[in-house]
Amino acid sequence: QVQLVESGGGLVQAGGSLRLSCAASGRTFSRNFMGWFRQAPGKEREFVAGIAWNGYTYSVDSVKGRFTISRDNAKNTVYLQMNGLKPEDTAVYYCAATKGIFSSVRSAAYDYWGQGTQVTVSS
């Protein structure tokens, strides 16, 4: 059974940092494009950042310079380091994996999803 399990969410003050982890089990994702999405209350789920098997990364403009995605293929784990957090970053954060190596910002391209972890940033 394939599972993605996120951890590391919580409550933090504006300007603070959190590091999210996404541990995969059931199969290896070392060749898959992995992404982080988030969904705030009343809003659509949105792509935040993604990383390819070769370390290529992409992130949306709203988090560039603050969030860093990385992966440890030996541990089958993806990370999202979030610095300079803002109240507008408050959301449930989801880890996801595509079936292949190609990058995508569309949630429909992802076949495996974690259960999500809540990130709340207070002002």
Average pLDDT, the chain: 96
Looking at residues 2-23, what average pLDDT do you find? 97
Looking at residues 97-101, what average pLDDT do you find? 88
CA distance 22 to 20: 7
pLDDT at 90: 98
pLDDT at 68: 98
In sequence order, what E strands does the chain have?
3-7, 10-13, 18-25, 34-39, 46-51, 57-59, 67-72, 77-82, 91-98, 110-113, 117-122
* Tokens matching residue 111: 């076949």
pLDDT cut 70: percent of the chain above it: 100
pLDDT per residue as tens digits for the range 63-88: 999 999 999 999 999 999 999 999 99
CA distance 60 to 42: 20
Backbone angles phi, psi at 119, to 5 degrees: -120, 125
Residue 99 pLDDT > 90: no
Looking at residues 96-100, what average pLDDT do you find? 91
Looking at residues 80-99, what average pLDDT do you find? 97
